[in-house]
Amino acid sequence: MATARGIQGLPPEIFDIILYYLGDTKSLLQSRSLVCRSWLHASRPRLFSIVSVQANERRLSRFINFLDTHKDLASYVRSLMVLSPMNDVDQLSLEI
């Protein structure tokens, strides 16, 4: 007889499919990442794939420190937008 493992026992691919159909807005991804560890791991690649940072020394320094202390999250970043401190329209975008 098989034992019930609950939602944690589902393959990661199932979580990816569920998350795909639920949408990818930042607020939804943040909420879903709190459901359980499996949803956290499935949400992180989408949540950190595009990152925007204000181009001032304090924020850039905090972002670099964040990536240094969370090296697993750094691998998810695919696009980095550095926004001008004077005007959010002027931006530098880097595709990784």
Question: Tell me: the pLDDT tens digits for 3-62?
Answer: 556 667 778 788 778 878 887 788 888 888 888 787 788 888 888 888 888 888 888 888
> Residue with structure tokens 């026992």?
9
Does the pTM surpass 0.85? The reply is no
Give the C-alpha distances (Å, rounded to integers) separating 51 from 35, 44, 45, 47, 94.
23, 12, 11, 9, 10
Between vectors from CA 77 to CA 17 and to CA 24, what angle results, nearest 5°?
A: 35
